Structures are given as structure tokens and as C-alpha cells.
Amino acid sequence: RMPSIFSYQSAEVDWCEGNFERSPIIAEYYNTVNGALLSYDVLAPFLAGIFSVYFHMTLSYVGQLLDELSILWALAVAYSFWYPKIYFPRFIKSRKHFFWLTGITTVISTLMSFIKPAFNAYWLNCIAFHLLYLTWRELKKCNDKRVHRMAAVMVMWWVLAITSWLSDRFLCGLWQAINFPYFHSFWHVLIAMSLLYCCPLVIYFDVHYEMPSFEPKLGYWPSDSWPVVVPYVVLVEAHKQC
């Protein structure tokens, strides 16, 4: 008999943290509370945080799909609205056509996810390399040091995040041996920090292409000198540097 897709621990993925060690109803306590609830609920759009909490709490097959597919669809929406037109494939003539291309691709990817859900996480991480490539292309055309600084900080957080993700996935035996199997919860927080810098960069470049009468400038709240800041974009009517 096949286990219910809603059952606890019916997912294809089980992270390194021990299950039900601190709660009889939460499978991965720190991944649920410290990772998903603390970071994704604050920063990720479209219910991704709620689905991440549900997945790590239950480790269910449905939870795994909801967690990963919510991220996929969030990325698809972001690509649809903010992907620069200059990078459209040659056969795409308008943003509307690009919407259709993104939508069809996302639907196909969603259907394929039901065949082998374990591959979803690797596919989603690969999308990050495309985003890094686009960032590199844009930085080559930009002389604003603040933009380069923000991009560098974004990449730093991403490298730490992906290192934590890979460490949890492939070095689990080592971390369990020293009783420290919490690197996936670090992934949640670190990738959220990377997104905190990624979003203003996307807005910055989008303004550059879609609002040519304005010059975007990057700032940090409450101050540039603070160790922990919230980056933001200011629009001024001036000559562009990028």
C-alpha cells in the first residue's frame, strides 16, 4: 500500500537535522522554526514561507511539492515582469510573448516535478547561476561603485547559503557525528539575506530599462556605516551612470 502523500515523512527528501527530537509534531524543529519561519515568511513572496514551514514540519510529499513549486512559480513571476527585454530570445517580440514562454515553461516544469520531486531543489539552485550571469552582464555596463558593492554582498551571502545547503546534503554524516546537523536552517537565513540585496538590484536595473527619465540610486537604512542594513532604491531625475 502506498503511503498517503500527506503523511509525515512521505517526502523524497529528508534533511540532516534529526526528526521529532524536540517536538512530537514538528519533524525538523530548527528547519521549521529558525529557518523557514524566521526568514522565508518575512522575505519570500507568494506563500513560500508558509509552505516551507509546512514541509519541514511534516516532511510530507505534498509539503515538499508545495515548498519547491511555490519558489518555482515565484521565480517565474519575477522573470515575467522584470527580465530585461534586451536579453529576450530573438523569437520573442514583446513582453506578452515572454509571459507565455515563461508560463508554458513553468507549467511543464511543474508537471515534471511530480515525476521526480528530488530533482526540484537542484534545478532551482541552477536558476541562481543564470541570475548571477545576468548580474555580471549588467555590472560590466555599470560604473556605480555602490551597485558593484551591493552585488558583491549579494554574492557573498549566496555563496555562504549554497555552501550550507551542499554541506547539509552531502556531509550529513560528519555534522551528525559532531552533533551539529543544522546547516539547512542556516541556508534559509543566508539565502534570505542574499535576497535582501538581490531585490534592490533587480529594481535598480529595471528602473534603468523601464524608466529612462529617472536615475536609480542605492541606499542603506538606517546608515551605510551600520553592520546590518536594509538596502533600498531612490529615484532621481538626473543623468544615468549605467
Q: Is there a binding annotation on residue 120?
A: no
What's the grid cell of residue 216?
536609480
In 44-119, which ranges are continuous DSSP H helix?
Answer: 48-58, 61-82, 95-113
β-bridge pairing 230-236 and 215-221:
antiparallel
**15 is annotated as contributing to ligand binding:** yes
Would you say 7 and 60 are in contact if contact means Cβ atoms under 8 Å apart?
A: yes
- Is 57 in contact with 19 (CB distance < 8 Å)? no
Q: Is 14 annotated as a binding residue?
A: yes
12 labelled ligand-binding = no
Listed as own residue / partner, the contacts of 20-28 with beta carbons closer than 8 Å and 24 or more positions apart are 25/57, 26/56, 26/57, 27/56, 27/57, 27/58, 27/59, 28/56, 28/57, 28/59, 28/184
E strand map for the chain: 215-221, 230-236
Q: Which of 218, 217, 206, 210 minimizes the C-alpha distance to 240?
A: 217
Closest by CA position to 62, among listed 1, 120, 5: 5
Length of the chain: 242
CA atoms within 13 A on the CB side of 153: 20
215 is in an annotated binding site: no
Q: How far apart are CA 242 and CA 139, in angstroms?
A: 9
Q: Which residues are known binding-site members? A: 14-15, 17, 19, 28, 56, 184, 188
Binding-site residue set for Zn(2+): 56, 184, 188
- Please state the residue numbers annotated as binding site for Ca(2+): 14-15, 17, 19, 28
